[in-house]
Structure 1
Amino acid sequence: MDDEYSKFVRRMNPPRVVIDNDTCEDATVIQVDSVNKHGILLDVVQVLAEVNLIITKAYISSDGVWFMDVFNVIDQNGKKIRDRDIINYIQMRLESNASFVPSMRDSVGVMPSEEHTSIELSGTDRPGLLSEMCAVLADLHCNVVNAEIWTHNARAAAVVHVTDDSTGCAIKDLNRLTTIKELLCNVLRGNSELKAAKMTLATPGVTNRDRRLHQLMFADRDYEKVERAELQRIEDKGSRPHVTALDCSQKDYTVVTMRSKDRPKLLFDIICTLTDMQYVVFHGMVNTGRMEAYQVKINSF
């Protein structure tokens, strides 16, 4: 009953997006007001990341019921956003309230669509893994349209879009999809005795590729410390982010402060991580200098 009531409230109060090029001298200001729901901050930041905008400042505020964010953004050339197509896309995506964040899935999934088949993989990283995966797909007459692969702490995750080499379209034959999954599972397993690969036939849906890679790596527990000496790396401590977490038990929240070298999609990556860990950002501030980002977030448990 509560869930239906929440849906009713959101329908009665659709998101409102204001994009302002006049208030700030050197950035476009995007303000989003909406009824609060879990994952809404990630939805907003994801849309800005999709059009390659750089967030220079952000103010995040939520009282538990209502959500208001203000972002100062620039394009890749450091200019305000003047392209009407980009402005219309942002408003359409955010005001439609149709952002979709898929649930966690197992380590190998195959998602068919009309244009291509999306293959999601995660497992133990090793030299030659990508080459073996591509060789299997080539032998099965699959054409790789595009692919993105992440590795961290000896774990690997990939999202690969393939088509049938003969038709140029998605692969719909279930027997062939099963064969693809079985062979890729064998490649992922290799000679490793660590974690057996699992396979699922994923439910079709709209998926942001970076978001899925975050989910795949998190589900594969890539954040766990690697104990084996041969896998440990010597890192430059001066270049590592500085993160502190202060527990405010009287107010039932944690203050997380991070200072690091700035880079594209930094805020997106942070919000993905907090969302996957089931934290909710109630209030936050983001400020970037010429090369450094300073972020403060207050999260509820």
Structure 2
Amino acid sequence: MKYVSGPYFEPDFDPVLDRLGTSGVVVDNETREDCSLVKVDSVNRDGVLLEMVQLLTDLDLVIYKSYISSDGGWLMDVFHVTDQIGRKLTDPSLPGFIQRALLPFQRSGSPKFTTCLGNVVGPGGPDVSDCASLEFTVHDRPGLLSSITQVLVDQGCHVASGQAWTHNGRAAGVLYVTTTGADGAALHPSRWARIERLVNAVVDARENVSGERRWVCMSAPVRGRVHTERRMHQLMHDDRDYESGPAPTPVDEEHFCMGDRAATAARSVHRTQTRVTIENWEERGYAIVKMTSRDRPKLLFDTVCALTDMHYVVFHATAGAQGPLAIQEYYIRHKDGRTVDSNAERQKVSRCLVAAVERRASHGVRVEVRATDRSGLLSDFTRMLREHGLSLLRVEIKRQKEEAIGTFFLVTDTGGEVRPEALCAVRARVAEMGISLDVAKGAPGWPPVKKTRAPATSPADQERPRSSLGSFLWSHLGKLSNNFGLIRS
């Protein structure tokens, strides 16, 4: 994400205010040389902002900046995006696909879209409706995923896709499984109940802490599942992974002034701590959430997801980055109209936001794995890691046509750095199983290659004091009020 000098409305954003009679999605490739602008104006319904950010993420797009305004009955958003290779969005079917995906009554029967990375996405995200689901939250330990997947193999199940995360000593996972048998009893509810009991027994047999909390649930195939990554956040939040560790550190307010001094300081940060400050703007009835963290893929989705699942509504927001430092500012209220009233609530919301960011922070060595998909593949690979004294921090597995693709973040069983010779030994062993393993230098396409540069800022502009979103937003309040009949602030 690329942050600009203070929050603003895009040059072509104001005309949106004059055409609010219909919902629409516009992909603008003319305003900026270095990215496309995805402009959305639609009826503001519950959860639509998260759906929009989730959809752009599923489409393998990189969001550099975002400007969000959803006060009253309409939502108006502008996202600066490219694909993962740094290119503008030129597919003429993309605006229509996004618009249909945001309208629930148009989703059924809508065509799917193939992303720049070859992933096939439907209007509601990847389709897993024909798979059963195994969900779990448990104390993290070496060999956990290997033990669970071995149970699935023993019961004639195949892991088609899924994810597993670890954070603050806790582990959570969502695995989508199919049966390998051809008998009709394979889909009987008693089958899933038996697998759930066996996984619970494996987890319980390895727990040494009295009263240790854990949760396992196996469910039959069903349509309309919660998006996988959102479900992962929900599982870890319900498991209270945010409770551990010290209280979050307040943000450095200089990073919100957007001058050269702040930009230079941001670029010099080597290991950026996630920081949160929450204040109440009593005159307008908003809680102001300011966040800084290391920039990374899917950061905006993780933050908006956390706020949405805590039942906070985002009315206005801006997000971007200076070098490696991501900067986000949100104006929110609880669904019941409250702001963040007490110190205890501010602490909880701050902890939850930090946890949402840190769960997907990249630690350990990242390896990319490919193989022809087959039954027991994940169990075989994780067992091999276990035998070589390696543990998993985060896992994402999926299927493209007949190939299984996995991303694994690895450390040693003691939490240390993985030595190159250990990776070479694992690579040699899994090659015998038909599995290719490559060490990734970073997230593919992150940061994407920028083919052109944005216009340089003049020296006069660099010295001019920058305002925060609050002063900027309310300078436009009169114009917004004239166009929105239902604004309540």
The two structures have a TM-score, normalised by structure 1, of: 0.80
* Pair 1:33-2:41 in alignment: yes
* Pair 1:72-2:80 in alignment: yes
Distance 1:29 1:169, change over 3 A: farther
Distance 1:273 1:77, change over 3 A: same
Q: Is the 8 A contact 1:14 1:95 kept in 2?
A: no
Answer with 17-26 or 190-199: which moved more.
Answer: 190-199
- Measure the CA separation in 1 of the matches of 2:283 and 2:189: 55
2:162 corresponds to which residue?
A: 147
Identity %: 41
Alignment of 1:175-214 (within 5 A): 175-190=190-205, 191=207, 192=209, 193-197=211-215, 199=217, 201=219, 204-214=223-233
- Measure the CA separation in 1 of the matches of 2:212 and 2:284: 42
Q: Which of residues 36, 55, 58 in structure 2 aligns to 1:50?
A: 58
Deviation at 1:237, TM superposition (A): 9.7
1:295 corresponds to which residue?
A: 328
* Pair 1:259-2:267 in alignment: no
2:132 corresponds to which residue?
A: 117
Superposed CA offset, 1:171-229 (max 9, x none): 411111110111112233342422253547476424321111111111111111169xx
Superposed CA offset, 1:6-47 (max 9, x none): xxxxxx976321121112221111111122122111010000
Give ranges in structure 1 of 5+ residues lacking alignment.
1-11, 100-112, 228-235
Superposed CA offset, 1:59-92 (max 9, x none): 1102232211111111111221123454443233
* Pair 1:284-2:343 in alignment: no
- Measure the CA separation in 1 of the matches of 2:245 and 2:198: 27
Deviation at 1:284, TM superposition (A): 0.6
Distance 1:85 1:196, change over 3 A: same
The aligned amino acid for 1:220 is D
1:215 corresponds to which residue?
A: 234
1:244 corresponds to which residue?
A: 277
2:173 corresponds to which residue?
A: 158
Q: Is the 8 A contact 2:132 2:218 kept in 1?
A: no
The two structures have a TM-score, normalised by structure 2, of: 0.51
Task: Please say which structure displays the higher CA radius of gyration.
Answer: 2
Distance 1:275 1:181, change over 3 A: same
**Greater strand proportion:** 1
Answer with 37-46 or 122-131: which moved more.
Answer: 122-131
SS of 2:280's equivalent in the other structure is strand
Give ranges in structure 2 of 5+ residues lacking alignment.
1-19, 108-127, 247-268, 335-489
The aligned amino acid for 1:50 is D
Q: Is the 8 A contact 1:115 1:170 kept in 2?
A: no
Superposed CA offset, 1:144-170 (max 9, x none): 222210111122111112111124999
The aligned amino acid for 1:157 is A
Distance 1:238 1:164, change over 3 A: closer
The aligned amino acid for 1:197 is W
Answer with 50-59 or 20-29: which moved more.
Answer: 20-29
- Measure the CA separation in 2 of the matches of 1:153 and 1:179: 30
Q: How many residues align?
A: 271
Answer with 249-258 or 194-203: which moved more.
Answer: 194-203
Distance 1:241 1:197, change over 3 A: closer
Deviation at 1:121, TM superposition (A): 1.8
1:129 corresponds to which residue?
A: 144
- Measure the CA separation in 2 of the matches of 1:16 and 1:271: 22
